[in-house]
Amino acid sequence: MKKQLSSMQKLLVFFGFLLVFNLLFTLLGLWQKIYLVGVLINFGLVVFIVQELSKIVRAKDQKLYEKFLAIGFPILVLIVWEVTVNAGILNARWFPPPTKIAKALWELITGYDSFTKTSLLGRPWLIPQVWREQGWIGVQKLFKESHLFATLYRVISGFLVGSIPGIIVGVIMGMSRPVRTMLNSLMSAIYVLPKVTIFPIMMLVFADPFGEPPKIAVIAIAAFFQTAINTMAGVADVENVYLEAGRNYGANAIQMFRHVILPGSLPFIFAGLRLAIGTALNVIVAIEFVRAKTGLGYLVLYYWEIMVTEKMYASLLLVMVLGALLSGLVEKIQEWVMPWQKGRVIN
Amino acid sequence: MTTKIFIEGLWKTFDTPRGKVDAVKDFNLTVEEGKFISIVGPSGCGKSTLLRILAGLLPPTQGTVKITPGKDPSKPLNSVVFQEYAIFPWKTVLDNVAFGLEMRGFSTSVRYEKAKHWIDAVGLNKFVTYYPHQISGGMKQRVSIARALANDPEVLLMDEPLGALDAQTRNVLQELILQIWESTKKTVIYITHSIDEAVLLSDQIVLMTAHPGTKKVVYDVDISRPRGLETKGTAEYAKLSYLVWESLRDEVVAAMEEQR
């Protein structure tokens, strides 16, 4: 009978492999030639190690271990990135090392671009001084030079303008089968259309290709369809037995909506809102690539044009952070509106 | 004794894409006030349809269905305990039980007081602030029963309330239903496919034929009250259970043959 290795022994073997492989790879000078192969094999070995380790970790420490993995792996990736760039394996021009990006990010946050007359945050530390010298108009000027504020303003106003009517129309569609069948095919057709494509129409409609209204309108329309379709599905999905219970216990039409239909469809409504905020960010970055003088999307493209790649990456990072914050905000609102879902898997 | 429920010549026909289907056919029943009536039949015999017509959730195709109002006209005629519990996941136990009262416009303090009384009666006072997903199936059905009782209806309609529960939980809840019924003496229509349950709980058992459903026989259950789980050990209980089963068996076979 073959002897089974224990997890501990397997771990040692994998660690041995890891060391020997990297030593050989480096000595043979293979990193410069086929670094992708090296990275892939190292990744494979890390996967094995992480697997075996999870068998050794005790049940009560499992949560901690998972947290360690979730935080540890991205850090590992950053370290590998830094090291490979500094070793000259990756081109520092196209892939500036994380430390350089971090520095660029700090410059973006604190700096002011005198050529485009813009800044990332609108230099909020100047607000007290400007307030004293120029009053509210000066403060407004500061807000106007902010890229982050520009994007945030477009996303949030478009999101609100679109999703509130979207929920209302979705409820009407969900409650009435004839209305649903009448509108459904049309809605579905528009739903699959990439939302940016209606930007030219909006520029025509508003006769203002560089202004804010067409940008906000595209986001609003995108948010409208996402929320309307999801709300409709949610309302139509409320289980019949809840409707029967509502009726049997004497709910009138308004009570029925308030106590049964609305809370019953909230999971779908929030799924729609989360989709809508994601789409809004997508759309606004695309639009800011094409037609804008401010905004995070513009910033990414601008630093590509003038070849300051570390600032391009820093701007990208800001888009990521904004996306995470916005969807986190929607989730927080969901937790607050739907306390009965706490401790339950959010669908 | 006054007549509480009066059903005469009831037909229910569903208009399906495959044509018209009779669910209930020429059904007649008179129930006196304060009686516990079980309706037993093979699956698909239309007993749930019958209950939904009584509850006013479905209109009858033909015939008369009447529940006599009581002295207090503001009291609801009926409240249903649904098979799938149908308690709202978005409301706490307390708000679920107070639901009917809230719909009828009672103030918060009045409805919570009444709701708490019934939550206590079904033994859930520790779970007042819980949401349904935090409690077990048996507890959910207790909430559903408390919700119906807090509404204080003229007639309590129960649609296979214990159908989804395991055998042990079912025993416990059977005792609870017996105990609550003995103390309230509400008129109850109890839909079930369990003969044991019907014999244990009811004053009368209405046996329905296979699809389309109509009344086949009515058994009087003469076992003395108060009853409890020990009733299940008596000879009369066993005898009656067997009698009902013999009659039901033909209908179950007929129902199975139809489904084939």
User: Mean pLDDT throughout A91-114?
Assistant: 92
CB spacing of B86 vs A264 below 8 angstroms: no
* Amino acid occupying residue B172: V
Q: How far is Cα A253 from Cα A250, in angstroms, rounded to an integer?
A: 10
ipTM greater than cut 0.85: yes
Report d(CA B14, CA B21) in Å as an integer. 5
Could you say which DSSP state residue A111 is in? -
pLDDT band of residue A1 (cuts 50, 70, 90) is low
Q: Is the pLDDT of residue A345 over 70?
A: no
Are A257 and A172 found together in one domain? yes
In a domain, A327, yes or no: yes
Residue A249 to residue B100, Cβ atoms within 8 A: yes
Tens-place pLDDT, residues A279-310: 999 999 999 999 888 999 999 999 999 999 99
Q: Measured between alpha carbons, how far apart are the two ends of chain B, in Å?
A: 45
Query: For residue A175, which phi and psi values (nearest 5 degrees)?
Result: -80, -30
Identify whether the C-beta of residue B55 lies closer than 8 Å to the C-beta of residue B80.
yes
> What pLDDT does residue B44 have?
78
User: Is the minimum CB–CB distance between A4 and chain B shorter than 8 Å?
Assistant: no
Cα separation of B150 and B188, whole Å? Answer: 15
Please report, for residues A20, A32, A50, A96, B33, the alpha-carbon distance to residue A37 in angstroms, rounded to integers and kept in the order given: 15, 11, 20, 21, 84
One domain, residues A290 and A174: yes
Q: What sections of B185-221 are H helices per DSSP?
A: 195-201
Q: Cα(A151)–Cα(B181) distance, rounded to whole angstroms?
A: 65
Q: Do A242 and B86 touch (CB under 8 A)?
A: yes
B71 touches chain A (CB under 8 A): no
- Residue ranges per structural domain of chain B: 3-77+156-259, 91-152
- A245:B104 CB<8 A: no
pLDDT in tens, A226-254: 999 999 999 999 999 999 999 999 999 99
> Which DSSP string corresponds to A209-275?
TTSHHHHHHHHHHHHHHHHHHHHHHHHHHS-HHHHHHHHHTT--HHHHIIIIIHHHHHHHHHHHHHH
Residues of chain B with pLDDT under 70: 260
Same domain? A11 vs A151: no
Subunit contact B84:A241, Cβ cutoff 8 A? yes
Nearest CA in chain B to A251: B103
Q: How does residue A3 score in pLDDT terms, banded at 50, 70 and 90?
A: low
The reply to whether A219 falls in a domain is yes
Q: How far apart are CA B98 and CA B128, in angstroms?
A: 11
Which architecture, in CATH terms, is B3-77+156-259?
3-Layer(aba) Sandwich (3.40)
User: Best mutation site among A256, A340, A347 for testing chain B: the one with the most B CBs within 10 Å?
Assistant: A340
Is B78 in Cβ contact with A340 (below 8 Å)? no
Instruction: Using pLDDT thresholds of 50, 70 and 90, give the confidence band for residue A275.
Output: very high
Nearest CA in chain B to A249: B100
Here the tokens at position A123 are 């230099």
Residues of A in contact with B82 (CB under 8 A): 241, 244-245
Helices and strands, number each (H, E), in chain B:
8, 9
Edge-first strand listing for the sheet containing B3-16: B19-32, B3-16, B62-67
Q: Predicted confidence band at A347 (pLDDT cuts at 50, 70, 90)?
A: very low
pLDDT at A296: 94
Average pLDDT of the segment spanning A154-173: 94
Domain harbouring A256, CATH code: 1.10.3720.10
Asked if residue A19 has pLDDT above 50, the reply is: yes
Contact B82 A250 (CB under 8 A): no
Of all residues in chain B, the one with the smallest CA distance to A253 is B103
Question: Cα separations (Å) of B125 from A168, B108, B122, B145?
Answer: 39, 18, 8, 14
Asked whether residue A183 falls in the same domain as residue A324, the answer is yes
Token representation of residue A342: 């706490």
Domain that holds residue A40: 7-86
- CA dist A133 → A154, A155, B78, B214 (Å): 29, 31, 73, 89
A92 within domain boundaries:
no
Residue where one domain finishes, among candidates A71, A86, A101 = A86
Model confidence over A194-211: pLDDT tens digits? 888 999 999 999 988 889
For residue A194, being part of any structural domain is answered with: yes
Interface with A, mutate which of B99, B118, B160 (most A CBs under 10 A): B99
- Any idea which residue has 């004839």 for tokens? A178
Q: How confident is the model at residue A96 (pLDDT cuts 50, 70, 90)?
A: very high
